[in-house]
Chains A and B, each alone.
Chain A
Amino acid sequence: MLISPESLAVLGGALALAGGLAGSSIGLGWAGAPAAATLAEEPGQLRNAIILVSLPMTQTFYGLIILILILTTVIPNISAMPDPQGTGFAVFACGIIAAAAECVSAAYQGAICASGISLLPKTKGQILTNAMMLAVFVELLGVLGMVFTIMALSMLGLF
């Protein structure tokens, strides 16, 4: 058998981390481009720009947490389940939840940070707090994706 239930579970965890890395890259790219333009205009905003650009990086670590959890806690339990084949596919499905949450939330957090960064010169940096508050809303979706994935795994009895 080429695809064992354990290896399908690894694919689920790998997709979660891959989604986090892809989303963070897109978010950092979207926020970094206006940051370079803003810094060309006002180099004094470097600190605020770096704070806002680095916000979408966290989704990578949520994806990593899911991967480590699947590798260390879930995989040893799969062979003890009544239907190991189906369980492996269920873990793969849970990985897709996490991948979607981390990828899309990080990318669109980048869009919010980009608009915050482009207003830094106009507001002399005062937009920082509000922009971070708005970005945290999108961050919440990344955290919820991780929590609900863990919840789904524990409802499947794998955790």
Chain B
Amino acid sequence: MKTVSVETAVALIPDGATLMVGGFMAVGTPERVIDELVRQGKKNLTIIANDTALPGRGIGKLVDKGLVSRAVTSHIGLNPETQRQMLDGKMAVDLVPQGTLIERIRAGGFGLGGILTPTGVGTIVEEGKQKLDVNGKSYLVETALRADFALISAFLADYLGNLSYALTARNFNPVIAMAGETTIVTAEHIVPVGLIAPDHVVTPAPLVDYLVANG
């Protein structure tokens, strides 16, 4: 694990990268990394995240600037700008049921090829997908997702990179921390090793590649 400035961390991300971003309606999204992506003008990004938040918040800031070419997400209902860009053909949006999205990410991070889920069977979600009957019940085969970068917001990070999360800011963060080739973390507080008790570590330090220093 390396501790770096937010400028250095974001400079690692090329145009056209696939990014998994933590957060649920921008709660638990690494805002400083998002702001720096906007400042450095990273383009043509594929975003895998629960939602695209609101204009001016979290992932919404990337959408506002037209930096996202594809979003794989469960909900865009609260971001009219995402909907506008989708209808104008400026952004591709793959809508995925939320429970399927998080499991596809989990599968990617856990070394699985995908998952079998009953969600979406008999709806338009099943179009183009393989269907399997297991023990008399129908499931869709949903393939695993991975990303070039996982962008994580933690509550506590220790000097080694062990992470813990706060309340509903946890959401997708610990799951995507497993599924990125490179993991970049911002933390509300960076604390001495030992301050997060072993039982309270949610994301183990070896998963973290870059910890963004607090300014």
A binds B: no
A binding-site residues for B, Cβ under 8 Å? none
